[in-house]
Structure 1
Amino acid sequence: MNTDPLIIAGEEVKPGTRATIQIPVARRYTAGDVALPVRVVHGRKPGPRLFVSAAVHGDEINGVEIIRRLLRQSVLKQMRGALIAVPIVNVYGFIAQTRYLPDRRDLNRCFPGSSKGSLGARLANTFLQEVVEKATHGIDLHTGSMHRSNLPQLRASLAEPGVEELARSFGAPVIIDAELRPGSLRQAVSVLGVPIIVYEAGEALRFDELAIKAGLRGVLSVMRSLDMLPASKSQRRPVEPFVAHGSTWIRAPESGILVSQLTVGARIEKGQRLGAVSDPLGTEETQVVAPTSGVLIGRTNLPLVNEGDALFHVAVFEKLDTAADEVDYFQGVHDPPT
């Protein structure tokens, strides 16, 4: 927490100023340049330096809109410390509207990367050096993968120093205590000693207003908990997050057409009929039954399924009634004050 200028890609951002920086990544084979767009807001007073990133998977665009709205918040004029906003990390995938890099690698398995490695390794290495190493805390914004919707939730390694405080201050109703995956941004950031949480909400290539509003509200809440922003004047009580005791994906028992009216956030009871998989003629139908009680935190939106496809993601809680009630409360939360 100091008042020194923040230097990114050789550009100096002094306290009390803002800057848009293009971090060079590579050149296209058409001779054009590829760069990471970064917006830095450096407060006049010292404080934490928070990076907020999105589109590590290029088709996960809710986070891009969350960051766009975040940067328009007038309360940032009162900010302490620095905000480093990177709305599009996987520029290649974002342009192509795909999850992956041009070589079909998953950028979120390329960290920490290398300056002499694959395209993904070089991009990952650049992001770590120019953004993460300048920060004291991080929030990475994601959505469900293609044709899957996620209830707003957090993935975090709660045993890592400072992570649980970040996760609880975000205000999403569900926290998944998730192990660090090799090659992921979350693992690489944790190795550097920077507390990080991952926000998951909505579906790829779709704007989900609930997911966007909740994400914006969550980032602002984290910034307040870090004393980067003044306390909120809202009279509505914050959402109480619940840590899932575990979670399970319920898979298709047969191939066919999935028929289900369930929406994310629904309470699930063990033995409940979640839907059915039918053949196109309707002559054969197999019921999909919940093996456990919990809250539906993710589901497929594609009705055409193969045997073994993941259909419903159910989080399990020790206090299911209270957790389910909190999810219902969360879904009625209003817009954040600006």
Structure 2
Amino acid sequence: MLDLENLAAGTLSKGYLSPKLGYPVKIPYFILKGAKPGPTVLVTAGVHGAEYASIDAAYRVTKLDPKTLSGTVVILPIISTPAFTSRSIYINPIDYKNLNRLFPGMAEGTFGEKLVYWLTEEFICKADAYIDLHGGDMIEALTPFTIYQAGHTSSHELAKAFGIELLVASDSEIMSFTAGARQDIPSILAEASGQGLWLEAEVERLRLGVERCLIHLGLLEGELEPKPHKDLSEFAWLRSEHEGLWYPYAVAGDRVKKNQVVGEVKSLLGEPLQQAISSIDGIVLFSVSSLAINADDPLLGIGA
């Protein structure tokens, strides 16, 4: 773990971390040590290496003036550097596992399991709050939303403070925010942008969300402008049963009805294989935007 106690107040420190994972990695870090004491907040991005708006937003957070902070902000802008450099979607290219389905990780596991264990033990469990920035992957269109652990009140409050309207309560046991909530640490996962883009408005949406959370947590001075929010308790994913061609009939942001056909998978000969049918009334939170689809790939996710 980084030695936060002995850093000079009001300063920025940065460098690389090389945890022993059985594969050489260099993970960039930034520490904003506030001029005054206060909570320690962990901000991560790049758990998925091609979610670029979230990564750029994390880098922008490093530009905060530490002299304005009461507390410490630790920023790890690219957790999965192998996935980032290889432009890998969903998975890391070392053990081909999705890091955000491995929490809290394993000390004696595969590369991804050990990376997640290191992140959990050395950073998440030692923070007072945790913000994990994400977005749609290279082949996903997405409408912004924030996820938190269902029933964890302080995480719900942090999600509201972030300022994105749609808030999804999740019962996941294997995602980043779960690892924090298990330690009673307010923890959220905020999503914006996708499709390999890092457009200014979406990068700023995420950066400003982090700043709003820092105000909420008392690290920054200021008043939070109230933002409307809508609580969602369901997140239904539709997956492909086949390899083939994907034709979506609904896209991110669309409202759909239960039993509505929201897309179709066809064979490489153009023959119908599967209708994707919504199981709930709700809003499409993400939709796969590539024509190519593989068996068990997500097609879209619907929140309600």
Q: 1:65 aligns with which of 56, 59, 67?
A: 56
CA RMSD of superposed structures (Å): 3.4
5 Å matches for 1:102-113?
102-113=94-105
Residue 272 of structure 1 deviates from its aligned partner by: 5.6
**Against the structure 1 CA distance between its residues 161 and 259, is the aligned structure 2 distance closer, same or farther, given a 3 Å change threshold?**
closer
Give the drift of 1:125.
3.3
1:202 is aligned with what amino acid?
A: S
Aligned to 1:25: 19
Deviations 1:180-226 (A, max 9, x none): 324x3333323333221111233264324443222112111111111
1:291-302 equivalences under 5 Å are: 292-302=280-290
**Structure-2 residue corresponding to 1:189:** 180
2:126 to 134, 142, 167: 134
**Secondary structure of the equivalent of 2:84?**
helix
Q: Quote how far apart the aligned CAs of 1:246 are.
A: 1.7
Aligned partner of 1:319 in structure 2 is: none
| Equivalent residue, structure 2, for 1:156 | 148
Q: Deviations over 1:16-35 (max 9, x none)?
A: 22211322224887xxx533
Please tell me whether the aligned partners of residues 21 and 114 of structure 2 are also in contact (alpha carbons under 8 angstroms).
Answer: no
Q: How many residues align?
A: 302
Whichever residue aligns with residue 8 of structure 1, its letter is L
State yes or no: 1:203 paired with 2:174: no
Q: Cα distance, 1:227 vs. partner? A: 1.7
1:1-338 residue pairs with structure 2 within 5 A? 8=2, 12-26=6-20, 34-74=25-65, 76-98=66-88, 99-182=91-174, 184-203=175-194, 205-232=196-223, 238-250=226-238, 257-260=245-248, 262-270=250-258, 274=262, 290=278, 292-305=280-293, 310-316=298-304
Please identify, of 275-284 and 95-104, the stretch whose mean Cα deviation from structure 2 is larger: 275-284
Maintained 8 Å contact 2:137/2:196: no
Q: State the TM-score, normalized to the length of structure 1.
A: 0.75
1:88 Cα deviation from its structure 2 partner:
1.0
Which amino acid in the other structure matches residue 174 of structure 1? L
Work out the CA distance in 1 between the residues paired with 2:106 and 2:274: 49
Give me the whole-angstrom Cα distance separating, in 1, the residues matched to 2:276 and 2:104. Answer: 40
1:35-81 deviation line (CA, Å, top 9, x unaligned): 3211000111122111000111223332210111122245x541111
* The structure with more radius of gyration: 1
CA separation in 2, counterparts of 1:100 and 1:224? 34
The 1:155/1:279 distance shift into structure 2, 3 A limit, reads same
Distance 1:149 1:64 in 2: 17
Identity of aligned residues (%): 25
Gaps of 5+ in 2: none
Shift of 1:257: 4.5
* Residue pair 2:136, 2:191 contacting (<8 A) in 1 also: yes
Distance in 2 (CA, whole Å) between partners of 1:215 and 1:117 is 32
| Structure 1: distance between partners of 2:163 and 2:171 | 21
SS in 1 for 2:19: strand
Change (3 A) 1:26 1:250: closer
